[in-house]
Amino acid sequence: MSSKQTYRVCFCFRRRFRVVAAEAPADIKNLFNEYADSNGVMNVENLHRFLIEVQKEENASLEDASNIMNNLHDLKILNIFHRRGLHLDAFFKYLFADINPPVNPKRKIHHDMNAPLSHYFIYTGHNSYLTGNQLSSDCSDVPIIQALNRGVRVIELDIWPNSSKDDVEVLHGRTLTTPVSLIKCLRSIKEHAFSVSEYPVVITLEDHLTTDLQAKVAEMITQTFGDMLFTPDSECLKDFPSPESLKKRVMISTKPPKEYLQAKEVKEKDSKNGPEADAEAWGREVSDLKARYNDKDDSDEGDGGEDDENEEDPKSQNTAPEYKRLIAIHAGKGKGGLSDWLRVDPDKVRRLSLSEQELAKAVVTHGKEIVRFTQRNMLRIYPKGIRFDSSNYNPFVAWTHGAQMVAFNMQGYGRSLWLMHGMFRANGGCGYVKKPDILLKAGPNNEVFDPEANLPVKTTLKVTVFMGEGWYYDFDHTHFDAYSPPDFYAKIGIAGVPADNVMKKTKTLEDNWIPNWDETFEFPLTVPELALLRVEVHEYDMSEKDDFAGQTCLPVAELRQGIRAVALHNRKGEKYNSVKLLMRFEFI
């Protein structure tokens, strides 16, 4: 190595560990000067004016401003020498602090919770018991507990006879997944169901049991949940009850047992090409999966997990009556085709399940019928069968057509799951988000919402990305580059109806642990009620794939205007300790 190369490496190593303190961007300094007095101090009255005029907190009081000052003292951002107000550094640290988030932490549950369950998007898990992939991972109650503690309200259990046929296990059938006992899962659901939300938990059962084991399951469920269990007065509900009326209740949803044999007969009748054609189709799916696995781009697509709802039946049509009485939300497709599945019955409500592929085809031919169906009935969407790695799909195809239960593999990390996290940050994180009126009401000519329609812009979201910090503290100093500070860029965009979908990018700032982009983007929104703000940060790599450096998704309808500290999360959705962006949100 030459002396010049040695010097360069040593210099870069020395640079790597140097980081200057974050400094307020020019726009923040100008704002501070506008609201501070001639001595460079922002007193309580001036902070109050700032809250109203810049932060758009129209109901903010002097007491609110005073409380901010007190919080800053508690956080040691203000000391005894600055009791009469904020100096620039304290003002900047306040804006970048956890006490100034983009979604109001005090705004808990604020949606109307007295409408029928069908009027809500519901946080829904798929194969909730799997710890990893769909083929060989362990089955456990741990991922169920984790999902409930995140606010998930729909837990799916596949129930099968054990090897001796005298008890019931939970596992992903016809795979190498190791089972967990049903009773263990039920007890964990009872213990953790309402740890973060009081609103109802729905257990969807994928039933592969004989009649005697169905009776055993009924006894397990009844004894485990007792008065927590909601059972309907009649065989089928005429209308769904409201989340408010079902607080701290557990509901069972599955196909009534007598329908399993019928479903299997229909399936066999429709399979006219025999097992050879099925094998050939499976081979094509696996080949497609392998081809997509060879694409290393971190896209929204991936694979793993199938819903077996129509595949198995009890050995006889005799049913355990005590089991059938437990079913609060009846599921099933019926004998006909899609038009029959989507028929709205004025005398009863039900749940329909479609795979993501079935939905993709159905929205082309029956989009309006799907929206009408979901105004009164439940629609559950589940991942296609070749998502072996427990990845997920774009939830917006389902949400924009009114589907309430968009079932996701909660261990399937990626952009699709980030969108799911973002949607259910709304309404206090209670797991129920009221659908917008456009999905619930027909127009004057009985027309329904069309996500593909060319609609006028309702509002424009203006987003300024000032800067970011925290990577120096949360990441190893050689994580992004062995010899120099990272080269960060941010991606800002919208996920929603097709017309609103967009992703934009800042410039890349080289060799800087504290990037100061100071860039503004505008997003015209036709359906802001269904929009999520997407935020990602990456580190540019010339020779390899760019490094991931954080993400978050936020419901546009709940964004607080003004300058806010936006905490970023890792790929799994866990919040970093220190990494944040300083951003400004304005609706113009």
Which residues does the annotation mark as catalytic?
126, 172
Q: Which ranges of 378-513 would DSSP assign to H, the alpha helix? A: 396-399, 415-423, 437-440, 471-474
Question: Is there a contact between 409 and 383 (Cβ–Cβ < 8 Å)?
Answer: yes
Residue with tokens 């837990």: 155
DSSP labels for 176-240?
Answer: SPBPEEHHHHHHHHHHHTTSS--SPEEEEEEE---HHHHHHHHHHHHHHHGGGB---SSSS-SSP
In this structure, are residues 328 and 356 in contact, taking their beta carbons and an 8 Å threshold? no
Q: Are 508 and 490 in contact (CB under 8 A)?
A: no
Give the Å distances, CA to CA, from 444 to 115, 438, 484.
22, 12, 62
User: Cβ distance 353 to 327 under 8 Å?
Assistant: no
- Between CA 44 and CA 13 the distance in angstroms is 45
Amino acid present at 176: L
What does the alpha-carbon distance between residue 390 and residue 254 come to, in Å, rounded to a whole number? 22
What the block records as the tokens of 424 is: 């259910």
| Residue 447: CB atoms within 10 Å | 11
Helices (H) and strands (E) in the chain, counts: 17, 19
Tell me how far apart the alpha carbons of residues 424 and 430 are, in angstroms, rounded to a whole number: 8
Cα–Cα dist 536/300, whole Å = 14
Pairwise CA distance, residues 137 & 172, whole Å: 10
- Contact yes or no for 432/111 (Cβ under 8 A): yes
Tokens of 416: 């699709």
Give Cα 46 to chain centroid, integer Å.
39
CB atoms within 10 A of CB 222: 15
User: In sequence order, what DSSP letters do the residues of 39-73 get, joined into one string?
Assistant: TS-B-HHHHHHHHHHTS--TT--HHHHHHHHHHHH
